[in-house]
Amino acid sequence: MDDRTAVLENGDSRHNDSHVLDIYPLGCYYFGSTDAAALKNETLADRALRMKANYDAYGMRNCVAGVIVVELFKHPHLLLLQVQNTIFKLPGGRLRPGESDVDCLKRKLSSRLSSGEDGRGPEWEIGECLGIWWKPNFESVSYPYLPPNIQRPKECTKLFLVKLPASRRFIVPRNFKILAVPLCQVHDNDKTYGCIISGVPQLLSKFSFNIVES
C-alpha cells in the first residue's frame, strides 16, 4: 500500500476533498515561441523613480502571479519564466485600474503564455489564492504579511493557483524562456529564485497531486 494514500484515507475527508490537484505530464503541452515582447530597459534607480511616481498617481501597486504545475519524472514541476537569461518570474503582472485579480491574471497569462494566440486556446482556469506578499517600500524586499507599523504598503502580490487542462499550447515571447523546475529545486532556494518563488512549494504542500496519465 502506498503510504500517501493511507494518509488521505486516514484524514477527515472534509479537509481533503478540495486539496487534490490534477496535474498532467509536461509532454501533454506544446511549447513554442513568437516575437520578442517589449521590455522596459531601465536601471534599478529609474525603476524606483517610476514606482514612486506611479504610487503617487495611483496608490499601491496591485499585482497577481500564477502558480502552474506540471508533472515530470513523477515529481511536480513549477512553470517559470526566465527573462533574458537572468531573473526567474511567475507569470503575472500589474492590475489595471478597476480590474479584478482574476481578470488581470487571465490577461497576463494570455499575453505571456499564449502570445499571439488571440484567445484561440482554452480559457485559463484560476483557482484559489495561495499567498500574498507585501512590499513596504519601493525597494525589492517582500514579506508574507504586512510588516508592523506599515500603514501604506507600496506593493501587494497575490499568488493564485492556475489549473491546466489536459493539453494546451504555450506560446512565449522569444526573449522569455519557459522552464519547468522541480519543486525540490525551488524549495528554500531564494538565492536563485527569490523569496516568493522559493516559498511556492510550501504554499502547494497541502495539495495531494493526482498525476493524470495521458
Binding site for a second copy (CB under 8 A): 2-4, 6-7, 10-12, 15-16, 19, 59-60, 62, 73-76, 95, 98-103, 126, 128-133, 143-149, 151-153, 156, 158, 160, 182-184, 187-188, 195, 199, 201-206
Q: Which is nearer to a second copy, 59 or 122 (CB)?
A: 59
Q: Which is nearer to a second copy, 1 or 38 (CB)?
A: 1
Q: Which is nearer to a second copy, 163 or 169 (CB)?
A: 163
Residues paired with residue 99 on neighbouring β-strands, in sequence order: none
CB of 18 to a second copy, least distance (A): 9
Q: How far apart are CA 199 and CA 186, in angstroms?
A: 8
User: End-to-end alpha-carbon separation of the chain, Å?
Assistant: 24
Exposed, middle or buried by CB within 10 Å (0-12, 13-18, 19+), for 159?
buried
Q: Which is nearer to a second copy, 109 or 172 (CB)?
A: 109
CB of 150 to a second copy, least distance (A): 9
Total residue length of the chain: 214
The pair phi, psi for residue 9, each rounded to 5°, is -65, -35
